[in-house]
Each structure stands twice: as structure tokens, then as C-alpha cells.
Amino acid sequence: MAMWRTTGALLLILQTVSGQGHVRWCTTSKEEHTKCLAMSQAFAAVSIRPTLGCVNGVTLEGCVQKLQKKEADAVSMYGTDVYALGKTTSFKMAGSETKADDTGASYYAVAVVKKANPAINITNLAGKKTCHTGKGRTAGWNMPLGYLIDQGYMSVMGCNISEGVANFFNASCIPGANAAGDPASLCQLCVGDDVGAHKCEMNNNERYFSYEGAFRCMAEGAGDVAFIKHTTVGENTDGVGPAWAKGLLSADYELLCRDGTRASVSSWRTCHLVRVPFRGIVVGTDISSSLVFGMLKQGLVRPGSRCGNTHSNRTATKYIFTRSEAIALALKHVAVILSNESATYCVQEKSGFNMFSSAAFSGLNLLFSDSTTQFQPANSEDPKKWMGHFYNNALRAMDCKREDMLRWCVLSGGEQQKCGDMSTSFKSKGLTPIIKCVYGDSVTDCMNKIKNNEADAITLDGGYIYSAGKDYGLVPATGESYTVAVVKKTSLDIRNLGSLRGRRSCHTGYGRTAGWNVPVATLMEKGLISPQQCQIPQAVGGFFKQSCVPGANQPGFPSNLCEGCVGDKFGQNKCEKGKDLYDGYDGAFR
């Protein structure tokens, strides 16, 4: 181990504290896999722990599936992928890639106006003329429009965002908004090339295309506001940029802040619409995020950080950490020097592998972005918190598609008939969307169909809501029902719950809300049953004389829980969920 002579230095040896000794990184291409294998060898050569292995997931979606199945441990992805894949799968954030500005952001989406137009602020953009980088692009379309929709400034009907933009702004230049159905005002401010051709095309033939073009659109007076990224003004003012920008001064422009104020263009860290995160390091829910981050930090090459000389008189390259960060990383076999003068920790590098270069592997941005300079620990393991409130909400606001059909999953012939009648009735009244009925073999089959985009909706008993959200990523749209206990009017001797002991009972099904969870919990709360060692079915079987609880035909359950059931019309499938005539709400009442 290299030694350093530093006056008043404190030498700490940090050890790996996690029990996980191997991390499997998931790759999405042949080139990525080749780079991963090379990185693994470089890490192993200098005994970085945990050891690194490589798993080929083929696609990013495939990698996330491998994380779910515990066949891989980590992968990197952009913020849009974190949002999209996080809707249906669970994972944690271990860290972020960051550029030289150390913000952990790809960039900040900003709204820029001329300082000479002091009346404009973020709250009164309705009716203004706007300049955008292009339709569907992040800084000029998704972020500003998503923000305006999420904040309630702009409304969109029927997911027709283009129509909503045209109704909100007076006129715009949005290169690429020239498809069939796009309102003409979205291209009204565009100018095309030097001879007026290629107007509103989503390429450099349109002079107002991309970051530079959107800023030019506003600077030349065509628009009132430009939606661009935070570096654009500095790249096209104060003597920097193309010929058209000659003479422009950054001091003549201001940013619109979310609180309705304005600020100088240099204040983008605090005055912006949305912070767009850079690539994130994603790990499985069972993986230690700090362990994976620590492994990456150990292998990181950061030229230029110097902390003294080795005993052989050679300068060592090292990382700079705060004391708390150095201890938290718990780097194994890494010497840490505390200088009394600088109060910084300098950790000697262990790997010569350049993670932020893909040139040697015939690709771009393999495993990590080529423009990355450092890793940052995640501000939160929660993907939504990692993305940030405004970024997540902007993407959610734009995550909208026109729905002309609603596919309802049904579970029986009766439901199929009712669904068909509902569809016919809705259509005759001119109601939208059109209802289509999709048959499912079971509740879980329907939930799986919705997860796989083969169906859109199902009516679920409350008992299924938890698993629907946990296992399938579904969310309730609306709710209904009260739980009641019903008896015949002639049963005058049944006056309260206590008088139900020794009686015969009918239930919607085992594990269902109205027929099992709520009434059984109520009996327990009233002290009428007292399950021993969580043996609730046994307690219920001891309370009632005879019952029909479809689904209670399980090994170890009291047989009297199914004695009241009758099976299907042929007398088969007795006590089977979904098949017994006494199953469900109608069945229990029957």
C-alpha cells in the first residue's frame, strides 16, 4: 500500500462492512457487455470489493426484469427510463452520474425572456408567443408543457396536447409540429432556411430549430419567451456563438422563476422550470445501494486530484471526499489521509479503468455517459424523490395518450353479458370511450392482462387492492361498497353479532373484504373469536356451526367452512372460488 508523508495526518483504513461480495451489472448490448467485462477485469486486478460480474439483459426492459427476478443487481439508466420503468417495477437508486458542474443534472429546463419585457412572468404566459426547441424534445416541449399542465396554467382535453398548446399560446415556432392534425399556429413563427424553405421542419434547415434556434427565435423578436436549457444563453452571447448572435449580451435576458419572479441567466440553479436529472445508478430492492456506489467510487479515475507524494517520490492520483462520505463509503484496503490544513480526505485510486469513455469499445455512452466526470450518491433511494418532484410531475402530465377504447376485463358469463349491454348502451348515447369486454380466467389473470396492456380496467373487491398495487402496479380509479351483515327478517332471535355463535354463515369468499376480512376482524375486535397463533380459519370454524366460504377448501382449514357450499350447477367444484354458486356477493346472499 502506498504511504504518504503528511504533517499531522491521520491514517484510516476503511473496511467493507456489507456481506454482499459480488455485484452483477446488467448490460444492454454486445458493446456494453464487452466494456463491462473489461471493467470487471480491471477491478479484479486491484482487488476492488465487491467483485464485479456482467449479465446481458439485451434491453433496458430486460435488465429491469432481471433486477426483479434477482438475476442482476445494478444497471444505469436515464431519468425518462427511471420514470417509465418505475411505473410497473420496483427498484432503488444508488447514485447519479454528474458532469463537471457537479449538479447531478443533465441540464435545467428554463424559460428565457428579454429583460426589456418586464411584464412577462411564468403565471401570465397565456396568449404569448413562444419559441421551442422542437416537438417532443425535453427542454422545449416535455418539460415546459408538462410543468404548465401540472401547475394548472394550461389545460389539455382528451390528451390532445398540440391543441392545448395552440389554445394556450397566441403563436409559436415548434419545429416538427407540422403533422396532420397539428394546429397551424404551432408553426406560425417558424422561418425555414435562408430562402424560406423547409419551414417548421425538425432539423437544422429550420433556423429556429433546437436550443440555439429557439433562443434565436426569441432574440430576433419572433417570440416572447424561449424554452431552452440553462447553458444556451451563455453559448450564444457575450462574443460566443455563431454570426447571428454577434453583439448579443447575456445581461439583456432573464429567466422566469417558478414563484413568478425573474432572475439573471446565471441564476439557473435556483431559477428554472425543471431540473432534468442525468443518468442514475439503479439497483434491485434487495441490494445495498451504498455497497454498489462504493464499488464504483473505488474504480473511478479522476485525474488531477493530488494529495502528496508516495515513498517512491511518485505523485499519486486520488479522490477528494468529505470525512462523512469517506467513512460512509467504507472502502476496503484504501488508505485515507486527513490533512489538518485542508480538512479534506484524499483517497488513493485503485483502478486505471476509464469508465467514462466508450471509444475503445466501438460505441457511445456504454454503461455510463461519456460526458460524465464523477459519481454522486443518490439523494434518496426512492426513484420519485431521486427524479425530483417537478421532473416526475412534468413527465406524468405529458404521459397521456388518446384513449378511444376501454378494455374491461370480465370473469364470468354474467359479467360478459352485462359488459356487452353496457357497451351497447354507452355507444347508443354517444358516450366515450368505447367499451370492449375482455375475458379473464381469474382475478389474477385480469390483473396480469392490465399489467401487460391487454386490458385496462377491472372491478376488484377491496381484498385484492393491496396485491393489485404491490404485484401488478395497478391503482384504484374509484371505490364503492359498505360491509354489512344481512339476516332474514324472520330470524328474530339474532339480535347482535354475539348471537351469531353456532349459526350458519355465508361469505363472499376467503380473503375477500366484505365476506371475510371485515367481518372476521370485527369478530376479533369484539372478542368473540380469539385466534391462537394466527390460526384465523380455525377460530372462525369454531365460532360458526357451518359456513360457505368459497376458497377455504385448503389443507388444514376446518371442513365446516365449506359444508354450506353447493358447487356449480352440476354439483362439481364445491367451495371453489369463482365456480361455486354461492361465490361472490350474489352467491353469499343467495
The mean pLDDT of the chain is 86
Q: What is the sign, positive or negative, of the torsion defined by CA atoms of 366, 370, 373, 376?
A: negative
Q: Measuring CA to CA, which residue among 535, 562, 542 is closest to residue 502?
A: 542
Read off the pLDDT of residues 438-494 as tens digits, 9 standing for 90 and up: 889 889 899 888 877 678 889 887 778 878 877 777 767 766 668 899 999 999 999
User: E strand or H helix at 522, and its extent?
Assistant: helix 518-525
50 SS3 class = coil
- Over residues 345-355, the mean pLDDT reads 63
109 SS3 class = strand
Least confident stretch, 35-49, 202-216, 405-419: 405-419
**Predicted confidence band at 323 (pLDDT cuts at 50, 70, 90)?**
very low
**Predicted confidence band at 350 (pLDDT cuts at 50, 70, 90)?**
low
Q: What is the pLDDT of residue 103?
A: 82
Using CB atoms within 10 Å of the CB of residue 157, give its burial: 0 to 12 exposed, 13 to 18 middle, 19+ buried. exposed
Domains, in order of start, for the chain: 10-102+278-392 (3.40.190.10), 105-276 (3.40.190.10), 405-472 (3.40.190.10), 497-589 (3.40.190.10)
Least confident stretch, 154-168, 271-285, 516-530: 154-168
Q: What's the rounded Cα separation, in Å, for the pair 15 and 330? A: 5
User: What is the chain's alpha carbon radius of gyration, rounded to the nearest angstrom?
Assistant: 32
**Whether the Cβ atoms of residue 5 and residue 309 lie closer than 8 Å to each other:** yes
Query: Strand pairing of 171-173 and 129-132?
Result: parallel
Furthest C-alpha separation in the chain:
101
Q: Measuring CA to CA, which residue among 102, 151, 134, 137 is closest to residue 273?
A: 151
Query: How many CB atoms sit inside 10 A of residue 87's CB?
Result: 11
Q: What is the pLDDT of residue 365?
A: 95
Q: What is the pLDDT of residue 479?
A: 67
For residue 203, pLDDT beyond 90:
yes
C-alpha cell read off for 471: 404485484
Q: What is the pLDDT of residue 341?
A: 35
Least confident stretch, 292-301, 336-345, 397-406: 336-345
Q: What's the rounded Cα separation, in Å, for the pair 565 and 550? A: 7
What does the H/E/C string look like for 112-181? Answer: EEECCCCCCCHHHCCCCEEEECCCCCHHHHHHHHHHHHHCCCCCCCCCCHHHHHHHHCCEEECCCCCCCC
What does the H/E/C string look like for 271-337? Answer: CCCEEEECCEEEECCCCCHHHHHHHHHHHCCCCCCEEEECCCCCEEEEEEECHHHHHHHCCCCEEEE
Q: Phi first, then psi: what are they for 139, rounded to 5°?
A: -70, -30
Question: How many residues are recorded in the chain?
Answer: 590
Q: What is the sign, positive or negative, of the torsion defined by CA atoms of 148, 149, 155, 159?
A: positive
Q: What is the pLDDT of residue 483?
A: 87
> Among residues of the chain, what percentage have pLDDT more than 70?
86
Q: pLDDT: is 475 or 185 the higher one?
A: 185
For residue 206, pLDDT beyond 60:
yes
- Over residues 251-268, the mean pLDDT reads 97
For residue 73, pLDDT beyond 60:
yes
Q: What's the rounded Cα separation, in Å, for the pair 85 and 65? A: 10
Q: What is the pLDDT of residue 401?
A: 58
For residue 204, pLDDT beyond 80:
yes
Q: What is the pLDDT of residue 430?
A: 79
**Residue showing cell 397463533:** 533
Q: Measuring CA to CA, which residue among 276, 31, 229 is closest to residue 132?
A: 229
Q: What is the pLDDT of residue 480?
A: 65
Q: What's the rounded Cα separation, in Å, for the pair 154 and 172? A: 15
**Predicted confidence band at 541 (pLDDT cuts at 50, 70, 90)?**
very high
Cα–Cα separations (whole angstroms), residue 245 to 209, 215, 229: 15, 10, 17
265 SS3 class = helix
Q: pLDDT: is 118 or 461 the higher one?
A: 118
Q: What is the pLDDT of residue 450?
A: 83
Q: What is the pLDDT of residue 576?
A: 94
Give the pTM.
Answer: 0.61
Read off the pLDDT of residues 260-279 as tens digits, 9 standing for 90 and up: 999 999 999 999 999 999 99
Using CB atoms within 10 Å of the CB of residue 540, give its burial: 0 to 12 exposed, 13 to 18 middle, 19+ buried. buried
C-alpha cell read off for 375: 459519481
Q: pLDDT: is 257 or 334 the higher one?
A: 257
For residue 407, pLDDT beyond 90:
no
Read off the pLDDT of residues 420-446 as tens digits, 9 standing for 90 and up: 899 888 888 877 778 889 889 889 899
**Whether the Cβ atoms of residue 131 and residue 253 lie closer than 8 Å to each other:** no
Q: What's the rounded Cα separation, in Å, for the pair 386 and 384? A: 5
Q: What is the pLDDT of residue 263?
A: 98
Give pairs for 514-520: CB < 8 Å, separation 24+.
514/461, 514/462, 514/481, 514/483, 514/484, 514/585, 515/549, 515/585, 515/588, 516/463, 516/549, 517/462, 517/463, 518/483, 519/483, 519/485
Q: What is the pLDDT of residue 238?
A: 97
Q: What is the pLDDT of residue 414?
A: 86
